[in-house]
Structure formats: C-alpha cells, structure tokens
A and B are shown apart, each in its own frame.
Chain A
Amino acid sequence: DVQMTQSPSYLAASPGESVSISCKASKSISNNLAWYQEKPGKANKLLIHSGSTLQSGTPSRFSGSGSGTDFTLTIRSLESEDFAVYYCQQYNEYPYTFGAGTKLELK
C-alpha cells in the first residue's frame, strides 16, 4: 500500500497568515493527489485534485503543488472559515490511502 505521510499534525495560525501542509507518498503517485477539508457537521470538501487543480468553488487563496512523491497545500491569507482539518489522499492505485490529517487551529 502507498503510505501517505502528512505534516504537521497540528498547525496554529492567525487570520491573514499563510500556511503550508506537506504530504509525502511512499512511492510515486504521479499527480493523483487530492486535498480535502473536513469541518464538523459538513460533508468533506474536495479542494484540490490532480495535485494542483482547484476544484470548482475552491477559493483562489488555496493552492497545491508537487508531483511524484512530494506535495504541498498552501493557504494564503487565512480566513476564519479555513480553520478545519485537512487531508491528502492518493488515488493512483488501490487501496486509496489518506494522510493522517492536519488540524489547522486559530492561534
């Protein structure tokens, strides 16, 4: 199975700041990498797919980069609605696997 190592596990930031989350795959997954946002009481939201393609409706302050094994999610100019848990996921091969998640908290 492809192991997805996501870091950091926790991140504290203030509105207006920029943050980055790393996701490393144990083998090459090409660009078959997605980022999701999890919020209590809401359906999980796909933010980015194919490593760097913004899903329709995702604000432009979100960006994704990387290919192969190393990927990064960057959120610029944090807004209050961005404080949530973020997961990466590889969908290059079965079983699809997720990172352990990053909880972005308000500082």
Chain B
Amino acid sequence: QVQLKESGPGLVQPSQTLSLTCTVSGFSLTSYNVHWVRQPPGKGLEWMGRMRYNGDTSYNSALKSRLSISRDTSKNQVFLKMNSLQTDDTGTYYCTRDAPFAYWGQGTLVTVSS
C-alpha cells in the first residue's frame, strides 16, 4: 500500500529555515519520483520541486534560490529545506508520488510567524 506522510515543525519564525520530511512506504524511492506541492490557506496549489528516482532534482524557478530537496533512500525519506521564510510561505505542504499525482500525503501545516 503506497503511503506518504509529511512531518515537520508547525511553526517557523520569519527569516528562518523550514525543514520537512516525507516518509514513504509501499514503494522505493529509487523507482519513483517524489514531488513537493504547497497550498497557502484558501488558495491554490503550487508545485515546488521534485526528487527524481535517480537522485536528480528539479525546482520551481520561483523558489529555486531558497529551496533544496534531498533524500535518504535507506530510511525511505525525502527532505525539503527552504530558507528565508516569510509570512506568505504559510500553508499546507504536501509530498506526492510521480505525476499525475495519484498518491498524496495528508499534508502538514506550516505557519510562519513570530
């Protein structure tokens, strides 16, 4: 059974770095791509970036200077790090598998506030 689960701090201070973990089960990170998508409160979805099955990464150019995606295949985990957070980075962050996105995590709410 394919599952993805996001975890991380619910609250981050402005200008700080966000670190999120996506823990997957039911499939191998060396066979499938994992993407990060976020959604500000009451707004639409934004694709952030992707960890490819072979370890390559792609990023949304709007976030590229602040964003880093990595993984630990032995732990079945994909990591997202984004620095210089601002209040408009508040939202729910999802990890998903491949595209089209048939499998989504439940999402983790991140609030950027002092």
Contacts and interface: CB of A to CB of B under 8 A. Distances in A.
Contacts of A43: 104-107
B102 to A, nearest CB: 5
A95 B60 contact: yes
B44 interface: yes
Interface residues of A, number: 20
Interface in A48-98: 49-50, 55, 87, 89, 91, 94-98
Interface stretch (B11-19, B79-87, B93-101): B93-101
B58 interface: yes
Contacts of A55: 100, 102
Contacts of A50: 100
A19 interface: no
Nearest to A100: B44
A34 interface: yes
A96 B106 CA distance: 20
A40 B81 CA distance: 26
A89 B100 contact: yes
Contact of A98 (B35, B44, B50, B107): B44
Contacts of A100: 44
A86 B104 CA distance: 15
B104 to A, nearest CB: 4
B94 A44 contact: yes
A52 B22 CA distance: 30
Contacts of B58: 94
A50 B94 CA distance: 22
13 contacts: A34-B99, A34-B101, A36-B101, A43-B106, A43-B107, A46-B100, A46-B101, A49-B100, A55-B102, A94-B47, A95-B47, A95-B60, A100-B44
Given A46-B101, A89-B100, 4 more contacts: A44-B94, A46-B102, A94-B50, A96-B35
Considering the complex of A and B, which 9 residue pairs feature the smallest CB-CB distances, nearest first? A34-B100, A91-B99, A49-B100, A96-B47, A98-B45, A95-B60, A43-B104, A46-B102, A44-B104
